[in-house]
């Protein structure tokens, strides 16, 4: 993985990987960390360039907290690079003098797993195979992708490790949770329509009725928008390059990605309410 999702818990766990409150020096060095800072183009957030030098742990924490708010995709690049650097120094190997400690490894593993990422014993990172999850664990993993899509992060709209995009994966999950099975051969409009019906949400197939709540019009509009966004996908793509029609503007792609996140979040919220 070239990027991993981060949140406040992940930031804390990553900073612990380079905790320099030790009696003896432990790699990675400040220079190693700086290489990853430059690679992620986050020099402007580096406190050691803006004032008196700080320790490695605080340096990482400050950079990631700033980047989470101002440049989340660069934050994810830096986070992944930092893990790779710690791994290359032997930080995940118990016999190494640079071993970060079992608690730090466990904390990072626990922090990134709900976001859809598995940390291997050797420090490797890989996406959770969503097909192996169900119920609340799948809901939690999908939430991680939802938050990425809502921020406009492209691979958040495309569920890593599966052929489904986020809306399709969420729709299938909703139907499975409510009805016990979902139609694996249904096309996207049919699958999404069934998810809407399962959650008592209005679709264009259901004609407006006098006394309908105004949200019904919103729900019908969201369904139509979702189908339109699905049609913007490059169905001829092979998994290489950007999966959008080649003549789309950057603003259109960003709007589509953020809408995918917004609708997916609403579906998951309504699912949790229905099952409560």
pLDDT digits (tens, 9 = 90+) for 99-144: 999 999 999 999 998 888 899 999 999 988 888 888 998 998 899 8
Cis before residue 28, ω within 30 degrees of 0? yes
For residue 165, what are the β-bridge partners? 158
Section 182-195 average pLDDT: 94
Residue 48: pLDDT above 50? yes
Domains of the chain by residue range = 8-127, 132-275
Section 26-37 average pLDDT: 95
pLDDT at 256: 94
Section 178-196 average pLDDT: 95
Section 253-274 average pLDDT: 96
DSSP codes joined into one string, 26-55: -SSPHHHHHHHHHHTT-GGG-GGGTSS---
pLDDT band per the 50, 70, 90 thresholds, residue 235: low
pLDDT digits (tens, 9 = 90+) for 148-162: 899 888 888 887 666
Section 23-42 average pLDDT: 91
Residue 163: pLDDT above 60? yes
Q: Residue 132 and residue 123: Cα distance in Å, rounded?
A: 21
């Amino acid at each position: 993985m070239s990027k991993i999702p981060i949140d406040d818990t992940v930031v804390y766990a990553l900073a612990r990987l380079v905790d320099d409150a030790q009696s003896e020096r432990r790699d990675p060095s400040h220079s190693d960390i700086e290489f990853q800072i430059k690679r992620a183009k986050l020099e402007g957030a580096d406190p050691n360039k803006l004032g008196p030098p700080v320790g490695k742990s605080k340096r990482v924490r400050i950079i990631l907290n700033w980047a989470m708010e101002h440049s989340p995709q660069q934050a994810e690049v830096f986070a992944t690079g930092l893990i790779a650097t710690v791994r290359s120094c032997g930080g995940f190997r118990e016999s190494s003098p640079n071993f970060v400690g079992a608690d730090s490894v466990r904390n990072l593993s626990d922090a990134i797993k709900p976001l859809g990422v598995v940390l291997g014993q050797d420090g490797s990172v890989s996406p959770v195979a969503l097909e192996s999850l169900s119920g609340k664990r799948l809901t939690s993993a999908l939430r991680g992708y939802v938050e990425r899509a809502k921020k406009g992060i492209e691979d958040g709209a495309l569920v890593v490790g599966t052929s489904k995009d986020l809306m399709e994966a969420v729709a299938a999950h909703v139907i499975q949770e409510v009805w016990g099975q979902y139609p694996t051969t249904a096309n996207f409009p049919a699958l999404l329509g069934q998810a809407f019906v399962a959650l008592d949400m209005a679709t264009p197939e259901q004609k407006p009725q006098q006394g309908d709540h105004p949200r019904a019009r919103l729900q019908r509009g969201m369904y139509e928008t979702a189908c339109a966004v699905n049609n913007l996908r490059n169905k001829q793509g092979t998994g290489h390059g950007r999966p959008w029609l080649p003549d789309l503007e950057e603003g259109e792609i960003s709007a589509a990605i953020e809408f995918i996140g917004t609708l997916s979040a609403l579906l998951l919220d309504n699912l949790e309410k229905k099952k409560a």
